[in-house]
Structure 1
């Protein structure tokens, strides 16, 4: 799960890769969406299979009332799709400033600018509120420490009954992620599975 341009990873705060703009349309959550992407961001040519699998597994009617966090949003497909399809407020955060600039453009293209708030955060460092749900497709190549922090620190950023929903490949850490989420939340379940991808959900019972 990586997008490397000239050796540079997509989880770099300020990518320096030469620009290579790309545009495409894609249907998510029943919405025909329009995206612009660039070099130095994850999955720039299409929506990655993990994110698609995660969105398909989520039942929006089972989420508590409140704002949703799209952690590691990239150019915004997951958060934008949720905002448009569910008419929910969504915060889109990432460490990659280039990705966030694209997310701003994509929010405008898809008519959800009033529903989304886009800002830079290194994992949860700039997060100062609690959410009804946190969705994350962790950047595996960023390392185990980053991925584990995204999962185990989520609990303190969720309202009571709020949900952490994460997607990982079995061969890239889904079993250990399942253990970490169970340890942090006291519960975890698989809510979706496809082609080696597991969608995991934990609920903040506190």
Structure 2
């Protein structure tokens, strides 16, 4: 048994390593942000749910920071067992650990804080006939055909498990489709805000197999999940839609779809009328950037409050 110690948020978190449990390293960024912004202060009366806990790192860190009670929940049976062991490794005997498919086994309705670092990838390695047992650890970062299965459950149901004034804090990503995430937060929560946003590069060896899925999804809804950048840092993405070359550009947060035709690249309105032609200079500039730029995505942490 290998136990590693990670220095986080002014505490030392001991974690048992298991190759079948998703790596905790992306969760460390959440903890650093929460510490820097004061969310880990004055937790002595807070009851916390770490939703989709994995190794247990988020909940354990908040337990060490003084939270009144911690619940760890996950769909992966191995993760639940490891999270329980990790709680003991850190001297936290009173933590509740739940094996649950999203909120199905979560009974409590008076949490002060629900934390989540949800999976984001669309299904690729997951055996859809046996989703509860996944041979590749990467598959535990997959959640539905669009990667939103856990995030949507969180945004639609977490409020039922919070007391009034309670907070949901979750990581999310442009890879989820951030326009839909914003829409759900507006409709179901109302009071929410970004507390952190950072651009991250796509890692070819890890993200690469999912790239075509994200490109296909953004071709449908114009919600840029992954993108390249021109020399001025403006996002764009080339792709093929039904065999036709297309392009999405983003200017002042507004996406524009361009389609290649017999007379060049043109924008297409809903009624099918061409409205603008991409100049040869701009096209060559984007084609050059396509060769030189890597792919990127945006990573966010958002806070929503039950009113």
Q: Bin the TM-score by the shorter chain.
A: 0.7 to 0.9
Q: What SS is found at the alignment partner of 1:78?
A: helix
User: How many angstroms apart in 2 are the aligned matches of 1:73 and 1:161?
Assistant: 23
Q: How many residues align?
A: 180
> What's the TM-score once normalised by structure 1's chain length?
0.79
Specify the alignment match of 1:183 in structure 2: 187
1:90 paired to 2:67? no
Specify the alignment match of 1:126 in structure 2: 105
User: How many angstroms apart in 1 are the aligned matches of 2:299 and 2:59?
Assistant: 20
Aligned counterpart for 2:155 among listed residues 151, 173, 198 = 151
1:169 paired to 2:173? yes
Q: Deviations over 1:3-32 (max 9, x none)?
A: xxxxxxxxxxxxxxxxxx653221121111
Shift of 1:179: 2.3
Q: Deviations over 1:23-75 (max 9, x none)?
A: 322112111111112122111xxx323x2222233313477943110000011
Specify the alignment match of 1:142 in structure 2: 143
Q: What SS is found at the alignment partner of 1:153?
A: helix
Residues 48 and 67, structure 2, Cα contact 8 Å, conserved in 1? no
Question: What are the ranges of 5 or more consecutive residues in structure 1 without an aligned counterpart?
Answer: 1-20
User: How many angstroms apart in 2 are the aligned matches of 1:41 and 1:56?
Assistant: 22
Aligned counterpart for 1:48 among listed residues 9, 17, 25 = 25
State the structure with more CA Rg.
2
Aligned counterpart for 1:67 among listed residues 31, 35, 47 = 47
1:198 paired to 2:174? no
Larger relative contact order (Cα-Cα within 8 Å, sequence gap ≥ 6): 1
Specify the alignment match of 2:254 in structure 1: none
Question: What are the ranges of 5 or more consecutive residues in structure 2 without an aligned counterpart?
Answer: 121-141, 200-297
